[in-house]
Structure 1
């Protein structure tokens, strides 16, 4: 009887302890429920070039998963990577992959980040409607970007001094050469378009999604406020605008990547939204904004236009 009594007390004590622990967890105001791939709230940082696109992606994602809440902050690409490194954001959406310095840092702190190319993007050059120079070769573009072009006086306009568009031009076009001294930053992409529309000598550099019309059924319309410059690649024969097909086959020269970079210690909402961006539904939205989807099988067919 004594052994039976001790055994019953042990079972009783274990049950009481478990119940107490469950109640404590439920009533503890400091207990934090982890988000999942389709539920919870998360803040993300996004290159401001992609605001129209990501706003649409979030709207569709949250309609599919009503318990998910994605709160984006749109800012220059440099600031997005700072947010990822200092844990202000688990997910960022930008125009480049991690560089070697960033990968070495994550290895040092024993974290394995994830990244994926989601699409091919392009930068568009836009000029005033009254400007006759709406077709340029790449030698002319390089001259405009580093200030050595003497054909005419251009007012070069970017969205932000720390933006991904500035980085792309400095790295890929100028090869480290400085921008002209009269280069100006208009603060936002809409302000670039607005400034160019009012100044005949201005030429703006802007992400193609900002000047595309996602409601155009033919997927070829751009904004009517400015003219989009036709460009000819160094080895190209045709002057082309940044249409999806030309971005996809590489005949449009100002082409860049569109990535997500993720640092998440568990499969949470950051992983869920990143997966959605690479899914069929997410890629179709990307297609609507004139980027060339990297995760869809796209077949080019010749067509005779009569």
Structure 2
């Protein structure tokens, strides 16, 4: 009994002597910094707005940057949570095993990469063979100026890995600083083809999205074994008819049930998936039913 009493007194006196001890955040309260692939800025800004309206004591501060830098932040403890276009790879999981940390990751949605061209460009409908030829430089039918948002972005990695299969991008490929700058460049250059995240052009209720889609033309693509040319729209992303499809993931490194866990749970919840649906991505954590409709 005396030992228990002394232990309790020790805890009380320690707390009194340390009034400024840092209070841990909880699933719905506190402040955290997260790193987010910049192609998801419109979507994640909206997710944070909804989450913080539900939990006013929660403060999530995002930094939008190239995907390579997001993973660097996760590994060096600059961010406990990242929102990116791929899951942790084997090398990253080996690192966490060595430092005795168990990370958590989850597929939240199916996303897509969009191609945009100048409004005066007649080549706004492409087969995948043509896309591959443009991206590796073997297409000599016409001059193309490829523009990405950033040299280290997820869109560059996606094109190199999934489209070029390791082949380099052609000489003269440009890297702007942001997705809006890609759209601005394409709107002013007839031979440009921009590669951007689809969430920048997928919210029809947003004035910025409307402005972007009025400046450029979104390219329609035909998959290798498809018969129709389709745009990067929710239905075609979900069915796989649109060929430039990729995932949206969160990766979380949190040693306790804190605000990162709370926000991650929200993103996979009904409310979080509704926001994803609004941005015309295809939710991975909720059931979506397709229905045929007759337009008269």
Would the aligned equivalents of 2:116 and 2:217 in 1 still touch at CA under 8 Å? yes
Query: How large is the Cα RMSD of the aligned pairs?
Result: 2.1
Deviates most, 139-148 or 221-230:
221-230
Q: CA–CA distance in 1 between the matches of 2:175 and 2:254?
A: 34
Assess if the C-alpha contact under 8 Å between 1:212 and 1:221 holds in 2: no
> Is 1:124 aligned with 2:114?
yes
The equivalent residue for 2:270 is 280
TM normalised by structure 2 equals: 0.94
Deviation at 1:21, TM superposition (A): 4.1
Which among 181, 185, 191 is matched to residue 191 of structure 1?
A: 181
Asked whether the equivalents of residues 85 and 246 of structure 2 are also in contact (C-alpha less than 8 Å), the reply is yes
Gaps of 5+ in 2: none
Which consecutive segments of 4 or more residues in structure 1 shift more than 3 A? 17-21, 219-222
Q: Distance in 2 between matches of 1:262 and 1:106?
A: 12
Structure 1 residue corresponding to 2:261, chosen from 250, 262, 271: 271
Match of 1:254 in 2: 244
TM-score (norm 1): 0.91
Asked if 2 retains the 8 angstrom alpha-carbon contact of 1:213 and 1:222, the reply is no
Alignment partner, residue 49 of structure 1: 39
Residue number among 92, 112, 122 corresponding to 1:102 in the alignment: 92
Distance across 1 between alignment mates of 2:52 and 2:294: 41
2:72 corresponds to:
82
How far off is 1:26 after superposition?
4.2
Q: Does 1:64 align with 2:64?
A: no
Q: How does 1:198-237 map to 2 (within 5 A)?
A: 198-215=188-205, 223-237=213-227
* 1:152 aligned partner: 142
User: Hey, what does 2:171 align to over in structure 1?
Assistant: 181
Contact 1:77 1:94 in 2 (8 A): yes
Aligned length: 294
Task: Give ranges in structure 1 of 5+ residues lacking alignment.
Answer: 1-6
**Contact map agreement 2:183 2:212 (CA 8 A) in 1:** no
Aligned counterpart, 1:3: none
Shift in alpha-carbon separation, 1:305–1:264, aligned structure 2, 3 A: same
Alpha-carbon contact 1:286-1:293 (below 8 Å) kept: yes
Instruction: List per-residue Cα deviations over 1:183-209 (Å, max 9, x = no partner).
Output: 000110000000001111100000010
The answer to whether the 8 A contact 2:111-2:281 is kept is yes
Check 1:238–1:126 CA distance in 2 against 1; reply closer, same or farther (3 A cut).
Answer: same
